[in-house]
Amino acid sequence: MLMERVEGSTKLLVPARATKSLFYNPGMELCRDIDIAVIAALAPRMVYLDALAGTGVRGIRVANEVGLPVVLNDRSKEAYEVIKHNIELNGIEAEIFNEDANILMHRHRYDIVDIDPFGSPVPFLDSVARSANRLILVTATDTAPLCGAHTSGLRRYAARALNTEYHKEMATRILLGRVTRDMCRYDRAIEPLLCYSKSHFVRVIARVDRGAKRADECMRRLGFIIHCFACGNRFAVHELLGIDERCAICGGRLATAGPLYLAPIKDDSFCSKVLDVLRAREMGKKREAMKIVGTCMGELDIPFYYEYHNICKTLRISPPPFQYLIDALRASGYKASRTHFSDTGFKTDAGIEAIKSLLEYMHR
């Protein structure tokens, strides 16, 4: 059964319940609101491909709310028919295909390529790397392998994920690492503009740059995170050679995650433009979207975070108000920020020992 719905300023016919041949998830409106603001913040006129369009909601919103020329594709016949209907409903023009997305992307180049698959985007990344000229938007909902909770991560992402307290960030960076390697094969590089994770999904939004030199530079941003499950010590390295097997703090055995992307995963000045767009528009998930983008903007560019409840638990102390901890770290000369990945997570350049002694001191 189909029903009418409005997202942003776009009218849509969507299935009352998603099926295999016609998919729509109202829970992803937040993701789509952020996309609209991102694409609007980019300004220039570019052609946008919604390669796995479902009801066409993403592409139709981009055409209707940003005014870009759009191309929509879905291999499901039922989805294709609904896309046609939704295009008419909004009185926009769009090119539509009813094809396998990989074949379409091998045949044509687009400025912006958006893939929003069921589960893992990996089967599409090679074609995305060939097809996308300026910008990519990639969703992953297979968070278990990306977070180290499932062994398929290694074969799908060619990287080892660890199930740590900062698994959401690990998922985002493992996906970015995989995207980097797929792009670099075609002498293309990525510059992440806004990459985030919310509930069950990871979204990567990155500019595409061309040239062997850029691609080499991009590859050098890959590395590893070394983690001690015994004491919570963690650090990032670009090379594994010379790393001790044992933790320098507690002597525990160290574990390795990666290869993953270690460089910044958002561009602060771009995020500020996206916030301006969100502020100026009416959208269903405006407040949540502003919270995510605003928090991303203020995050330290450190590739992991700490969960302060966990640390307090191991120290057997009751957690102080969160902001006190951030303030205390800063007052001690460290950098500290919140993270959008978790309401009780924080980023800092202080090591685990310094964090623990500060928390113990605050408890006294």
Chain residues binding ligand SAM by CB under 6 A are 23-25, 28, 52-55, 57-58, 73-76, 79, 100-101, 116-118
What's CA 2's distance to the chain center, in Å?
30
Distance set, CA 1 to CA 15, 22, 25, 49, 78 (Å): 6, 10, 15, 27, 12
DSSP, collapsed to helix, strand or coil, labels residue 60 as helix
Report the partner that residue 79 touches, choosing among ligand SAM, Zn ion, none (CB closer than 5 to 8 A by kind).
ligand SAM
Under rule CB under 5 A, residue 320 binds Zn ion: no
Binding partner of residue 69 among Zn ion, ligand SAM, none, CB under 5 to 8 Å per kind?
A: none
Sequential DSSP letters for 308-332:
HHHHHHHHT-PPPPHHHHHHHHHHT
- Written as one string, the DSSP assignment of 90-138 is TT---EEE-S-HHHHHHH--EEEEEE--SS--HHHHHHHHHHEEEEEEE
Interaction partner, residue 249 (Zn ion, ligand SAM, none; CB < 5-8 Å by kind):
Zn ion
Q: Which is nearer to Zn ion, 252 or 284 (CB)?
A: 252
The entry of ligand SAM, Zn ion, none that residue 252 binds, CB within 5 to 8 Å by partner kind:
Zn ion
Which of Zn ion, ligand SAM, none interacts with 248 (beta carbon under 5 to 8 A by kind)? none
Question: In the complex with ligand SAM, which residue's Cβ is closer, 14 or 262?
Answer: 14
- Taking alpha carbons only, the member of 349, 90, 98, 358 closest to residue 234 is 349
Give dist(CA 286, CA 280) in Å, integer. Answer: 10
Binding mask 211-250 for Zn ion (x = CB under 5 A): -----------------x-xx-x-------------x-xx
Extract the tokens encoding 163: 């199930």
Sorted by sequence, the CB contacts under 8 Å of residue 280 that are 6+ apart come out as none
What is d(CA 5, CA 11) in angstroms, rounded to the nearest whole number? 6
> What are the two backbone dihedrals, phi and then psi, of residue 194, each rounded to the nearest 5 degrees?
-160, 105
Nearer to ligand SAM, 38 or 53 (CB): 53
Total residues contacting Zn ion by CB under 5 A comes to 8
Indicate which of ligand SAM, Zn ion, none lies near residue 121 (CB less than 5 to 8 Å, by partner kind).
Answer: none
Looking at the Cβ atoms of 74 and 307, the one nearer to ligand SAM is 74
Q: Which is nearer to ligand SAM, 110 or 166 (CB)?
A: 110
User: Which parts of this chain interact with Zn ion (CB under 5 A)?
Assistant: 228, 230-231, 233, 247, 249-250, 252
